[in-house]
Amino acid sequence: MNSMRIIVAGGAGYIGSHVCVELVKAGCKALVIDNFVNSSPKALERISEIAGGDVELLEADLADPADTQRIIDAVKAFRPDGAVHLAGLKAVGESVAEPVMYYSVNLPATFTLVRALEEANARLIVFSSSATVYGALNENPIDEDGATGPTNPYGRTKLFIEEILKDLALADKRWKVCNLRYFNPVGAHPSGRIGEDPNGIPNNLFPFIAQVAVGRLPKLKVFGDDYPTRDGTGVRDYIHVVDLAAGHVAAIDYLSRKATPGAVAFNLGTGSGVSVLEAIGAFKRASNRDIPYEIAPRRDGDIAEFFANPSRANAELGWKATKSLADMCADHWRWQSGNPNGYRD
């Protein structure tokens, strides 16, 4: 691991910035490629502040043909050992409204990154996939051999990219690929200096709760309390973003040592579920703030319960999520209360 040189595509984003911190802590050198469409350059300053080491930056758009050659040249000059690929659009609802935009960004970004890595002779990639690839087809806990059937264009781009990378690894045995299927990333680095900073009104539960707690939003809508779950509200596998980032370092180490070629998928989750009401209660305890909410109708596309079987990652990556729901809430709150307007402060 030590002194590996890693491209982090989308490295200024919520997950990417936490991955950069863990990579620098592990002794790696990182080159971030980011167009800041859904992130802030400030995150890079904060990464260096936290990790005590610099990351290099290439401001470019992997999906823009006008940037392709500049990206290829910079990647080659960086002499990478591999890449973590987190560059892409990621809002489920937006993908339903703008499917062609999602396909025309997420897929070409992947093609450009793969081409740049090949020209740099670095055929190792860890892809930021998503549990959304499973759709609503599997019994919980969900394992990697489960059926895939994403129910939205965002999830379909993730599955398509997984399949593209699998085909690449079959065609060229020099490629080593990990497809990391994230469950629900939440929380922030304990320093409170980097965290989730969504554009506009948050779609996801934790950033919404955090903005209610800090007074940016008046009230949370709980989307349904009539699900067949222990308290009627939706149950998800929330995983601390620092645990998630550590999973990326473990995946790079695993691939760097992997003798056999080919692509492998890993669930990154805790293996246990938390309900919406439990999350609200935990956040109230962590923030000591009230979280006003009202019960609203179910959200289209939501399912009752969804959590991981993480045993393949535990066994093969030697990785396990260690942080509790209380840690997730305390760290998310420290970020949000210290940065009420995210990186815009």
Q: Which stretch binds ligand WQD (CB under 6 A): 51-59, 204-212, 251-259, 318-326?
A: 204-212
Give the residue from 244, 307, 308, 318 showing the smallest Cα distance to 86: 244
Considering the complex, state which of residue 6 and residue 91 has its C-beta at the smaller distance from ligand WQD: 91
What character string, x for contact with ligand WQD (CB under 6 A) and - otherwise, covers 131-150? -x------------------
Strands (E), the chain: 5-9, 29-34, 56-59, 82-85, 124-130, 176-182, 184-186, 220-223, 235-236, 238-240, 262-268, 274-275, 293-296, 305-306
Residue 174 or 299 with smaller CB distance to ligand WQD: 299
Residue (185 or 342) nearer to ligand WQD, CB:
185
Compare residues 82 and 150 and give the one whose CB is closer to ligand WQD: 150
| Binding-site member from 119, 226, 231, 302 for ligand WQD (CB under 6 A) | 302
Binding mask 246-285 for ligand WQD (x = CB under 6 A): ------------------------------x---------
Q: Could you give the 3-state DSSP secondary structure of residue 25? A: helix
DSSP label at residue 142 = B
Return the closest-CA partner of residue 57 out of 49, 48, 66, 68. 48
Angle at 216 between CA 47 and CA 43, to 5 degrees: 10
- Residue 130 within binding range of ligand WQD, rule CB under 6 A: yes
Closest CB to ligand WQD among 194 and 222? 222
CB of 129 to ligand WQD, least distance (A): 8
Q: Between 184 and 309, name the residue whose CB sits nearer to ligand WQD.
A: 184
Q: Extract the tokens encoding 292.
A: 């006003």
Residue 340 DSSP SS3: coil
CB-hemisphere CA count at 13 Å for 147?
A: 7
* Binding test (CB under 6 A) with ligand WQD, winner from 204, 229, 272, 311: 204
- 174 is an interface residue for ligand WQD by CB under 6 A: no
Compute the distance between CA of residue 18 and CA of residue 47 in angstroms, rounded to an integer.
8
> SS3 letters for 278-320?
HHHHHHHHHHCCCCCEEEECCCCCCCCEECECCHHHHHHHCCC
Stretch near ligand WQD under the rule CB under 6 A, chosen from 19-27, 42-50, 77-85, 202-210: 202-210
Hey, what are 335's tokens? 């970020």
Residue 154 appears among annotated catalytic residues: yes
221, 256, 322, 326: residue in contact with ligand WQD (rule CB under 6 A): 221
Segment 87 to 106, residues that bind ligand WQD, using CB under 6 A: 90, 92
- Interface residues with ligand WQD (CB under 6 A) are 90, 92, 130, 132, 182, 184, 203-205, 208, 220-223, 234, 236, 276, 299, 302
The set of catalytic residues is 154
